[in-house]
Amino acid sequence: MKIISNLLFASMMLFSASWSQTITVAAAANLKYAVNDIAKEFTKNTNIKVKIITGASGKLTQQIMSGAPFDAFLSADVEYPAKLAGAGYTTTPSQVYAYGSLVLWSDTGIDLSKGVAIVTDPSVKKIAIANPKTAPYGIEAVNTMNYYKVAPKAQPKIVVAESISQVGSYVTTKAVDVGFIAKSIVLSPEMKNVGKWVEVDPNAYNTIDQAMVGLKNGTPENQIAAKKFLRFMSSPKAVAILKANGYGLPKQ
């Protein structure tokens, strides 16, 4: 009996040493770079691994409501988390973790000194925006063009991308002349030396409040781990990463 007991204990210890918990976090595409850095720091602190799935907030919400096994959701707005909470999919109250900023970006040598007004110039043939139906940054790109009264002339030039990430791809491959994109993308190490960009006046669009929630779709164990991750989003390390990526931050 003692030999069996020792073997059982040894196998349990081996399983414990080899098993590592992994949670899946759905994140708005504007977080593509920042959330990976945050996840690395979280894993260092907790030994909980994080798998990141990025996309347009609206599409991710649809996937969650269709049963996708995501454990937490970092949206680009407050409306989609509220929708999920109202439908009973969440385990935590919606909480704003950052405020996004919109920029106009080009890698084709277009002169951006005129700001948003440049989109009406004949030199600009194509303008990329994220899909306003599913991407909050796309909605605010439209609001920006309406604010500057350039929408009628810009409309025929607009190329609708699935997400902010695809806007970035269109800009960096020069498939478009300019693109409205999140400031966090152009400040990322991978993109900071690509092309030129100008910040859009915050008065031209609605405040981009980005909220997060825990989700019920995962296992009970992962729900607990996801709550730890959401708390970590307010930690000094996570806040420093968000700030470095151009986000505004809620007052602690």
- pLDDT score at 19: 57
- pLDDT score at 169: 96
Q: Which helix (H) or strand (E) holds 81?
A: helix 79-86
Q: How far is CA 53 from the centre of its chain?
A: 9
Query: How far apart are alpha carbons 202 and 228 in whole angstroms?
Result: 32
Mind listing the pLDDT tens digit of every residue in the chain (252 residues)?
555 555 444 444 444 434 589 999 999 999 999 999 999 999 999 999 999 999 999 999 999 999 999 999 999 999 999 999 999 999 999 999 999 999 999 999 999 999 999 999 999 999 999 999 999 999 999 999 999 999 999 999 999 999 999 999 999 999 999 999 999 999 988 898 999 999 999 999 999 999 999 999 989 999 999 999 999 999 999 999 999 999 999 986
Alpha-carbon torsion, ordered 22, 28, 32, 34, to 10 deg: -80
Residue 245's region, left for phi above 0, alpha for psi from -120 to 50, else beta, is alpha
Cβ atoms 97, 78 nearer than 8 A:
no
- pLDDT score at 20: 81
- pLDDT score at 189: 86
